[in-house]
Amino acid sequence: MARRDELMTYAEQLKDPRWLAVRDRIIMRDMNMCRDCHSGDNLHVHHKRYLKGLYAWEYSERDLITLCVKCHRFVHGLNEDGKDMNDPFVRLPEFRGDLVRLVARMNKR
């Protein structure tokens, strides 16, 4: 039997209504603001950590944070002219180490 995380790609999960509902709830919790720079433009919900086998919407609210698209790209290690600009999730696994360090730094602010 296929493992659960092989049934749906991450990109597919992010289009799932169950994720969209969680995403809306987190943005509302964070008062429609980026938790890093307080911008209200282009908000994304970022997973502070990834656990094997969990769907995007199965995380605890503590693991989710609202970031604007700029801060989100930064957290994922993509710069302004990165070619994955429109999909900050695509290359995520390569940046996992940096991601954890950057988020740890961010949380200290």
Binding-site ranges for Zn ion (CB under 5 A): 34, 36-37, 39, 46, 68, 71
C-beta closer to Zn ion: residue 8 or 91: 91
| Angstrom distance (rounded) from CA 12 to CA 61 | 20
Q: Torsion angle of alpha carbons 96, 99, 101, 106, nearest 10°? A: -160
Written as one string, the DSSP assignment of 11-68 is HHHTTSHHHHHHHHHHHHHTTTS-TTT---SSEEEEESS--TT--GGGS-GGGEEEEE
> C-beta of 1: minimal distance to Zn ion in Å?
29
- Reported as type and span, the H/E element at residue 70 is helix 69-75
> C-beta of 97: minimal distance to Zn ion in Å?
14
C-beta closer to Zn ion: residue 8 or 47: 47
> C-beta of 91: minimal distance to Zn ion in Å?
11
C-beta closer to Zn ion: residue 2 or 101: 101
C-beta closer to Zn ion: residue 22 or 34: 34
> C-beta of 80: minimal distance to Zn ion in Å?
13
